Amino acid sequence: MDIKEVVAVLKQKGRVSIQEGNGKVLEFISLNAWDSQKDDPNGIFLLFETFQIRTISEQFSEVSLDVVEFATKPTIYHTIAGRMLQNGPRQNGQVKFSLIKSDVWNRLLFSFGQSLILQYASHKESDFQMAEYFPLLSPNAKEMYLSPDGDIKIIRA
């Protein structure tokens, strides 16, 4: 799979579906293309660098930033949605996000240049296939709540 082709489809259509190494079809959506009427409010913001957290959430404490930056296992974080976030998945005033460190998936996000929204596709067709496993589907994936004040709550260990 050529990352340039995936990015081209994303820029043209605003969304792309990729079948990852386990056979699961994932849909990646740009923030501008996310539609609250048809897209999943459980979507997860995928980030390639920690500074992107500012675009989706309230200001973070140093402790919370360190937790995200130094995590060794794939983790989905829940936090309070930022006041400036106009579009995108949220539930009860919270957003989910993950800092993707896995090489090829991080390169895809970096090449697009913005955070993407992940939702698990209900359809079986995909635009592209990738041999690499998506890290958030790993049995080792964790889930945590991080408050802007530095409070941490483990949701799934």
Query: What pLDDT score does 47 carry?
Result: 97
* pLDDT score for 92: 92
Could you say which residues of the chain have pLDDT below 50?
none
How far is residue 120 from each of residues 24, 41, 129, 152, measured CA to CA in Å? 8, 11, 15, 26
Q: Provide the whole-model pTM.
A: 0.94
Say how many Å lie between the first and final Cα of the chain, rounded: 32
Residue 32: predicted pLDDT = 92
pLDDT (0 to 100) of residue 11? 95
Per-residue model confidence (pLDDT) at position 42: 93
* Domains, the chain: 3-156 (3.90.870.10)
Residue 124: predicted pLDDT: 83
